[in-house]
Every structure is written in structure tokens, then in C-alpha cells.
A and B are shown apart, each in its own frame.
Chain A
Amino acid sequence: MRWGVVRFPGSCDEVDALLACERAGEAELLWHGDRGLRGVDAVVIPGGFSYGDYLRVGAIARFSPVMESVITFAREGGLVLGICNGFQVLCEAGLLPGALLPNTGLRFLCGQVELEVCRTDSPFTGACPEGGTLSIPVKHTTGRYHAPAGLDSGQILLRYAPGHNPNGSEQDVAGVTNRAGNVFGLMPHPEHAVDPLIGGSADGLTIFESVRAHVGDLVHA
């Protein structure tokens, strides 16, 4: 499969995401100023500070040319994964429910967290252990998830394990999908947990492998 990783001028983790995607397929960067997604099978919106994020995290990025294409792609059922700032951008773009607010501790926080996998019948968690946990790092200042009224608990794919909620997220939400299940956003960084030598855990790779398996199934179906 082919991944596209969006690059905004203030992206920070786009190369990390690209390297992680290359462990589960082919991958290329998609420039924020370009329209069109070059036929990729799945899109990653990586972490960083897209356009500086001075107004509000993710607020400007959603109006970029590439995001117009991503929004169309998502509405047509394409797979979109938003990590950290990418999650914030997808919420601002209305592709995911809810919003992200400053951490209750008000500080940037970098550390390893344990995540509970809530369901494994999604394109993004199919390769994760059923009822298992993932050890993946977080690093953000604005990661407190605010759930909109009426959020279906079935949309919650990952929760912070007890004692691991780093930011005060409601219902310990670490990652949610849209109702259709093809757009997924999470605050933890699976792309930083793909090599045991770097970071001590390769649990994040299962997210990328889940997508690859799902795309492969579609191709072979």
C-alpha cells in the first residue's frame, strides 16, 4: 500500500511518520500547498505545529489546499490518521468529533503512557491485541480531549490506562474515530514507538500494520 504524509511548514514529526509508514508499505510526503493526494491509499496528518498554531491548535491548517483534498478523500471513505497536531487539525476540520484543550497541568508533557485498546474491529486497530494495552509516548501541551454531547462510546478506540491519563482527557480518551470509522485521531505518537532501540517499544507499529492489513484486505476482497 502507499501512504501519504502531509507536510505543513510547521510539521515536526512528518519524517518520523514517514519512516514508520515505510515499515508498513511505501510512503511519500504531501506538501500542504498542493491539491490532490497522488492516489495514496491512506493519509497521515503528523504532529507538529502546522502553521505555528498561534491562534488555536490546528485552526489554520484545516484551510490549506491539501486539507481540502483530505476532507474530500475522507468523505469518500478514505483512511485518514491524525497524530497529535494531526488529531487537532482533524477535529478543527470537522472530520472528527470533539476538540482538544490545554492539558490540566498547563505544561508540555513528554512521557511513555499505557493505552487500552477498546476495540479491534477498526481499520486502525485490527492488528492490536484484543483487550490488550500499547505502550506509546505522548508529547503535547494541548491534548485534553473534550467529547461532544452524544459521543458514541463505540468511536473510542484507545483510552489511557488507569493512572496514565496525562492531560485530563474526558473519559480517558486517547483516540477516537468518526462515525464511519475511516478517520482516526489520537494524541499519543505511534510513529515514535516502532523500533525497540529507539523508545523501548514497538507497540505503535501495530497501528500502521492494522491499516496495511485493512487496505490489503480491500485489495484482495
Chain B
Amino acid sequence: MSVTSSTPKHRELGLTDAELDLIVEKLGREPNEVELAMFSLMWSEHCAYKHSKRLLRSLPTEGPHVVMGPGENAGAVDVGGGLAVAFKVESHNHPSAVEPFQGAATGVGGILRDVFAVGARPIAILDSLRFGELSSARTRYLLERAVAGIGHYGNSIGVATVGGEVYFEAAYEQNCLVNAMCLGIAEQERLIRSAAVGPGNVLVLFGALTGRDGIGGASVLASAELTEEDAAKRPTVQIGDPFAEKKLLECSLELLELGLLVSLQDLGAAGLTSSASEMASKGGLGLDLDVARVPLREGGMEPFEIMVSESQERMLCVVEPERVAEVIAVCAKWETTATAIGEITDTGHLRVRNGEEVVGDMPVEALVDDCPLYDLAPEPPSRPLYPAPEALLDPGADLRDTLLTLIGSANLAARRPLFQQYDWLVGSRTVRRPDEADAAVLALPDGSALAVSIDGNGRRVACDPRRGAAEAVYECAANVACAGGEPLGLTNCLNFGNPEKPHVAWQLTEAVAGLAEACAAMNAPVVGGNVSLYNEAPDGPILPTPVVGIVGRLPDAARAGRAGWAREGDAIALVGELRPSLAGSELVKLRGEAPAGPLPELDPAGIRAAHDAVRDGVRAGAIVSAHDIAEGGLAVALAECCALSGLGARLEGAGEGDEALFGEAPGRAFVVSGEREALADIPGARVIGAVGGDRLSVGGFEITVDELRAARDGGLAAAFA
């Protein structure tokens, strides 16, 4: 994406000639420098969703628990007792590929702000990461630094990181994915929206000073493909300051508790431009702001730089004029700068002044709503998109060696080397931490709890975007069910390649259709999310990676499920119809095969019945351990239950051969344990073995629990040596 000096300014900023013509038409004149910069950001893919907005309208967004749906900084669901949980997942892929530590850290900072911008106190972070193969030095560098960045921000601000997932595939070598999800808790009546209200009210900017961080980030980094020259883009990456954010968080919540704010909005991508125009747009109003009043970190900043700066840790609020002094005083208590920079008007225009001089004047509608939306031109790929990976498993390997190799592979090995770098304790709510259950469980004040999980499986989506994306929803819901939770709402992050390419458009269109079907089937409305497109390197797109996060609730925290076996002598049962398939599985990957082939048909009613059976059994105490059968199939799920508990298992009715043992069927079926008589009452449960001994005996072979643990623990540890 090299830019020559002869390139017209608007194209340099990512606008097409037709888009510029439309801007000229809307303004009735040529835009000046400030206006062009603002339009280029607001009309970028990152802000305007111009290639995905029409598709996203097909997702179900309504449900009995939804308190706040898409369109606000974060969505929120009712969790009972007058409380709501606000949550959202967001990507920070391109910044992390350029500078992984700061990219990942500011990704966490950004999603935290989204949550406290609606008035909720952040209580948990989960992350979904994708990197190239671990054999690559670049991957190990990105992994190490991104994990350190997530930990740096979350640990320092005092929000627990309670879960997440990470996978390694060559297709992410150039475009790693760093998606962060945050959830926060609030009294329902304290939730606040971002719409500007009341002409004459004052616009107050508070938080960190404004510098030249991330100038053009939204358009440059998030809306175009990355190339080899990206090291040169480093200056645009923002630097995170968790201490500043901690003060901003406490300050924002105190302002809300004192009832001092009319509306609140965080500053993220596209900085003041996006925040101010979104607030005005949602309120159907206008606003005037003065860039000369914005407190700056460095001198000599141009008005357009102030308007587009992506300096972190800033918020914008609307305040009644007589309360401005109180707002500034609360901010001072938290050592946070607060400045009145403008006021709400009824003009429907966003007017930017620099002191006395008007330097920009645009209809809010033109900035926010008039960006052209593009229809995709989807077409299934005519040839395979992804090359075959390197074979890591000897074709003649027996089942025993196959299982040991699988459970020690980068994608399946124990995640402890990552999550031990995160504070999962702070807040005194974490009932189930990573590796204890399929979902994180967080206690609520009334004795109930939240179950939260984040999931995605790019290889299965590459095989069949529609079914693969639906499987991601089912698998995530399965994790929540294993903890005893019922889904209340869902957030998603759609990570795809360049949507202007027909095969990527097809992946995206099919995947959204699959998500819509599965969300409807599971009664999991989408309350918010994020789209990250153009994740593409010269040798092709990333695997299509819709990541979903589900928040569920269980009535009794003390009854939260666990993944590992609980007791010697318990029976082991299979719940749900497994229908294993080797397409896109970990096994065929280790054998050196590209993701391909049809995925089995999905049976939403049957899947839902299996989830209900497991959830009810966990809640009743009949099921004492529950684990979903996902990557690596039944044998890996069994091995994980052994490794987590230290107890062996003997299986008789588990089937034999590759497909039965290692075939995958995400979200459909579960391995559970409990007393034999208790399991007999679980609908659809079929006893296949018993817990006990020091080894796993399945499919005609045996492995000791110690061997399983050694293999599983060693897989990622080397990367963090």
C-alpha cells in the first residue's frame, strides 16, 4: 500500500473518488483538511461497517433478557436482582500485528472503556488469540508480547482475566488476531447511553491528554491489508496507560453514581471525531466543539490532528451547565483532567472551532449515516484457499501415539503458560478459573453466578462457513452449559479477509447466516460486537474466524460445574449425538491436510436438548463433571478430564478408530460423570465407562495419567521458556 506523492489526498486517506464526490454533494462544496480527515475516518470500514452493515442486520438482537442491544458502547442483559451485565468483544488485530505488546494492551483498554462507558464496572476479561504456527520465531514473539500486553493492562487495572482461547495456524502468520471481551456489572437503572441530550448542555472531555497517538489508525491500520512495509506504520500505534485508565474508570463510575452525567461515550478508534459525531447522531442533535480547548500532550498539533488523535484513556460526556464544576471536581479527585470543550446544539451540524475560527462544519447525518453501504459479491472459491500444513504426525502412528501427539500439540496443550500470566482472582468472584471448567464462573452478590466463554474455530469455518460459524455458537453455549449456565446474550467479532474479494465475501455472508441460525436456535440474542475485515497478507486471507462470546447465568454459584473427573468409581456418560467428522479436525491438520470437506448437518433441536440435559444435570448435582467434545474429539476430551483431575478412566462403549475417537463435532455432545443411578435420569445419557485408576483406557489402548499430563503440559511451555 505504498503511497506516492501524486496520490490525491482523499485516496491517501482511503476514500474512493465516488465517496469524495458524495461528500462534496453533501457539503455543497469541497471539504477542507479537517473535514476530509474526519470524513475519511467516519467513512472507513472500521467506523462505518460499509461492507458488513447490511449482513449484520440479519442477526437476532432481541430476547427477554436484553436490556441494551447493539449500537451502544456495549450491550447488556438482565441477570436478576436489579443487576445488568454489559459485555462486548472487540478486535485489535492490526495494531497487535504491528506492535503486539501495545496493540494487545490497548485492545484490552479499549474494551474496558466500552464497558464502563455504559456505566458498568468491568469484572472480567476474556481473550481470543490466533497466531501463525509455533515453529515460527515471529509467532513466538507475537505470542509472548501479546500475552504480556494483555496481562500488563488487565493485571494493572485490577480486572480479572478469567478465560480465553488461543490457536496456531499458518494463515494467521502475518495477521494475528487479538480479540478481547470484557464484561461489567451495573445496577440496571445506572446504565447510561451515549446519545447527546439537551441543547445547551456542555460537552466535557476528561482523561488523558491528547497527543499524536494513532493518527489515522482506524483507516490506516484497521481498514486495509497489511504489507511488508508495516514496520513504518509503527508511529501510529497507541500506547496504553492502565494507571490512567484505572483513574478514568473510577472517576467515570463516581460521576455516574453522583448522577452528574447526561450521557457518556468513550474515545476509541477515530478519537474525538467518532465519539462526538456518534453522540450527536444518536441524539438527533448537533454540537459545537473547540479544539483550542482540548488539553494537549504536545505542542503544535493541527486541528485535524486533535480531531482524529487516538490517544488512549479518554472519555466524553454531556453535562448540564450548572453541574460542570462538580464534574471537574470529581475528576480532580481522581487526578484526571476534565475540560469543557463544547456544547450541544439543535443545528444537526458538527461544528469544529479553533478558538474563534470555524475550521469544520458538517451535517452530523452526512458523517454518520450517509457513508455508502456496499453489497458484497459473494462467490464460493473455485480452488482451495489454504495450503496444507506441515505434517507433524507419522502416517503410521498408532492410536496411542496419535492421542499423545494431539494432546501435546500447540492447539490442544494446556494453556497454563498463558493464563498464569493473568490475574484471574481480583474482585473475589472467580468461582471457576481457567482449566477448572469449560466456562469461567463468576459469583454474583445474590449467590447466583455468571458463566462466560469465548470460542471460535477457523478451520471448521474454512471447511464450511455456514455450519462452522453455527458450530462456534453451539460450542460456546456448550461450554456455558457445562458450567450449569443458560445463555442470556451473545457478542461476536467477525474476523475475515478482504470483503471486496468474492471468496471472502462468500465466507462472510455464509458465516453470518450460520451465526444467525444458531443464535436463534439457542435463544442467544446478539447484543453487540465488532467486525474486523482486511485480515489478509499477500499470500491470502486468514481463516474465516467468527469469534463468539456468550454470557450465561446459573442460579447457584456453589453448584457450578467442573471439567475434570470428581470421584473414583463414578460412571462416565456421553450426552448428545456425537456425529464425529474429521473435516478440519486437529487430527487431519497434524497429518498435513488442509481444512476441507463437508461438515455434518446440524440438528439445532437435538443440540439444544443435549445442552438442556447437561445444564439441568449440573444444576441438580447429578452430573459432577461435564466437558464438551471439541477439538481432538472424544479421546482428547476424555484425556483432558483425566489430566485435569489426576484420575484415570476406563471406557468400554466409546467406539474405535480415528473418526470415533478423534472426529470433531463442536457443541453437539458432552462427556459427563456422576453416580450411575443419577446419570440414568439424564435425558439422552449413554454410559460408556467409569472413572478410576491411574490410566486412561480407551479404544484398545492405555496411557497413564502422568503421561497425559506431561504431554499436555509440555506443548506450550517451551514457547515461554
A and B touch in the complex (CB under 8 A): yes
Closest to B336 in A: A9
- Interface segment, A49-57, A75-83, A145-153? A49-57
Whether A189 sits at the interface, judged by CB under 8 Å, is yes
Partner of B422, one of A10, A48, A110: A110
How far apart sit A96 and B634, CA to CA, in the bound complex (Å)? 54
Total residue contacts A-B, CB cutoff 8 A:
85
B21 to chain A, nearest CB (A): 49
Q: Interface 1/0s, chain B 419-449, versus A by CB < 8 A?
A: 1111111111111000000000001000000
Complex interface: stretch among B69-77, B155-163, B196-204: B155-163
Q: Which residues of B contact A107 (CB under 8 A)?
A: 148, 151, 421, 720
Check A9/B250 contact, CB under 8 A, given A108-B151, A110-B421.
yes
Residue of B nearest to A33 (CB): B333
Of all chain B residues, the one with the shortest Cβ separation from A51 is B243
How long is the Cα–Cα vector from A51 to B242 in the complex, in angstroms? 11
When the two chains form their complex, are residues B246 and A16 in contact, meaning their CB atoms are under 8 A apart?
no
Across the interface, B423 reaches (CB within 8 A) one of A108, A197, A198, namely A108
A48–B152 alpha-carbon span in the complex (Å): 12
Partner of A10, one of B246, B429, B443, B558: B246
Contact residues of A between 176 and 217, Cβ < 8 Å to B: 189, 191-192, 195, 197-199
Is A15 interfacial (CB-CB < 8 Å)?
yes
Q: Which of A134-172 contact B (CB under 8 A)?
A: 137, 139, 141
Using Cβ atoms and an 8 Å threshold, which residues of chain B touch A141?
155
Query: Quick check: A15 and B428 within 8 Å, CB to CB?
Result: yes
Interface residues of B in 317-354 (CB under 8 A from A): 333-335
**Cα A53 to Cα B425 with chains together (Å):** 20
- Interface-central residue, A15, A107, A109, A189, by most chain B CB under 10 Å: A107
CB distance from A64 to the nearest CB of B (A): 12
CB–CB B428/A197 < 8 A: no
- Quick check: is B247 within 8 A (CB to CB) of the other chain? yes
CB within 8 Å of A: which B128-167 residues: 148, 151-152, 155-158
Q: Tell me how far the C-beta of B249 lies from the nearest C-beta in chain A, rounded to whole angstroms.
A: 10
User: Is A133 on the interface with B (CB-CB < 8 A)?
Assistant: no
Q: In the complex, are the beta carbons of A192 and B425 less than 8 A apart?
A: yes
B428 with A12: CB separation less than 8 A? no
* B158→A198 contact, CB < 8 A: no
CB < 8 Å: which of A10, A52, A199 contacts B425?
Answer: A199
**Which residue from chain B places its CB closest to the CB of A141 in the assembled complex?**
B155
The reply on A111 being an interface residue by CB < 8 A is yes
User: In the complex, what distance in Å separates the CA atom of A33 from the CA atom of B244?
Assistant: 17
Contact with B along A112-149 (1 / 0, CB 8 A): 00000000000000000000000001010100000000
The one of B151, B426, B443 in contact with A16, judged by C-beta atoms closer than 8 angstroms, is B426
Q: Residue of B at shortest CB range from A20? A: B428
Within the assembled complex, what's the spacing in Å between the Cα atoms of A13 and B540? 46
Asked whether, in the complex, the Cβ of B443 is within 8 Å of the Cβ of A197, the reply is yes
Contact B158 A108 (CB under 8 A): no
Known: A197-B431, A198-B443. A9 touches B426 (CB 8 A): no
In this assembly, does A19 line the interface, its C-beta being within 8 Å of a C-beta of chain B? yes
- The reply on B108 being an interface residue by CB < 8 A is no
Q: Which residues of B contact A191 (CB under 8 A)?
A: 428
Q: How far is the CA of A74 from the CA of B250 in the complex (A)?
A: 29
From B241, B333, B420, A110 is in contact (CB under 8 Å) with: B420
On whether the beta carbons of A19 and B428 are closer than 8 Å, the reply is yes
The residues of B that contact A49 with a CB separation of less than 8 Å are 156, 242-243, 246
B557 within 8 A of A: yes
Of residues 5 through 52 on chain A, the ones whose CB sits less than 8 Å from some CB of chain B are 9-13, 15-16, 19, 33, 48-49, 51-52
Minimum CB–CB distance from B311 to chain A (whole Å) comes to: 17
Shortest distance between the CB of A55 and any CB in chain B (Å): 12
Q: Which of B155, B241, B247, B335 contacts A108 (CB 8 A)?
A: B155
For A105, give the chain B residue with the smallest CB separation: B720
**Which parts of A59-93 form the interface with B (CB within 8 Å)?**
none
Chain A nearest Cβ from B448, distance in angstroms = 12
**B446 CB to nearest A CB, Å:** 14
What class of interface size applies to chain B in its complex with A? 20 to 34
CB nearest to A50 among chain B residues = B243
CB-based contact A12/B422 at 8 Å: no
A-chain residues with CB within 8 Å of residue B158 when the two chains form the complex: 11-13, 48
Contacts A10-B243, A12-B426, A54-B243 given; does A109 touch B421 at CB 8 Å: yes
Q: How far is it, in angstroms, between the C-alpha of A199 and the C-alpha of B420 when the chains are bound?
A: 14
Chain A proximity of B206: nearest CB distance (Å): 15
Q: Is the Cβ of A12 less than 8 Å from the Cβ of B157? A: yes
> Cα distance A52–B157 when bound, in Å?
9
Neighbouring B residues of A13 by C-beta, 8 Å: 158, 426
Proximity bits, B373-397, A CB within 8 Å = 1, else 0 = 0000000000000000000000000
Q: A12 contacts which chain B residues (CB < 8 A)?
A: 155-158, 246, 423, 426
Interface centre among A10, A33, A189, A192 (most CB of B within 10 A): A10
Minimum Cβ distance to chain A for residue B481 (Å): 21
Contacts of B419 in A (CB 8 A): 110
Chain B CB within 10 Å — which of A9, A15, A51, A141 has the most?
Answer: A9
Nearest-neighbour CB distance to chain B for A192, whole angstroms, equals 5
Q: What residue of chain A has the Cβ atom nearest to residue B157's Cβ?
A: A12
**Which of B250, B419, B428 has the most chain A CB within a 10 Å cutoff?**
B428
A13 to B425, CA, bound (A): 9
Residues of A contacting B242 with CB < 8 Å? 49, 52
A52 to chain B, nearest CB (A): 3
Cβ of B558: which chain A residues have Cβ within 8 Å of it? 197
A109 to B420, CA, bound (A): 5
Residues of B within 8 A of A108 (CB): 148, 151-152, 155, 421-423
Inside 8 A of B151's CB, which chain A residues have their CB?
Answer: 107-108
Give the most central of A12, A49, A53, A195: most B CB within 10 Å: A12
- CB neighbours (8 Å) of B244 from chain A are 52
Q: Mask for B217-255, Cβ within 8 A of A = 1, else 0? A: 000000000000000000000000111101100100000
Q: A192 to B427, alpha carbons, bound, how many Å?
A: 9
**Residues of chain A within 8 A of B333, CB atoms compared:** 33
Q: Residues of B contacting A52 with CB < 8 Å? A: 156, 241-244
CB contacts (< 8 Å) of B423 on chain A: these are 12, 108, 110, 139
Q: How far is the CA of A185 from the CA of B156 in the complex (A)?
A: 20
Whether B428 contacts A192 by the Cβ 8 Å rule is yes
Residues of B near A9 (CB, < 8 A) are 243, 246-247, 250, 334-335
CB under 8 Å from chain A, chain B span 534-576: 557-558
**B214 nearest CB across to chain A (Å):** 21
A-B contact pairs, 11 of them (CB 8 A): A9-B243, A10-B243, A19-B428, A49-B156, A49-B246, A54-B243, A108-B151, A139-B426, A192-B428, A197-B558, A198-B443
* Interface pairs A-B: 9 shortest CB-CB: A12-B158, A52-B243, A192-B425, A16-B428, A139-B423, A49-B156, A108-B421, A108-B151, A10-B243
Beyond A12-B157, A198-B443, list 7 extra A-B contacts (CB 8 Å).
A13-B426, A49-B242, A51-B243, A107-B148, A107-B151, A139-B423, A139-B426
> Which B residues are closer than 8 A to A by beta carbons?
148, 151-152, 155-158, 241-244, 246-247, 250, 333-335, 419-431, 443, 557-558, 720
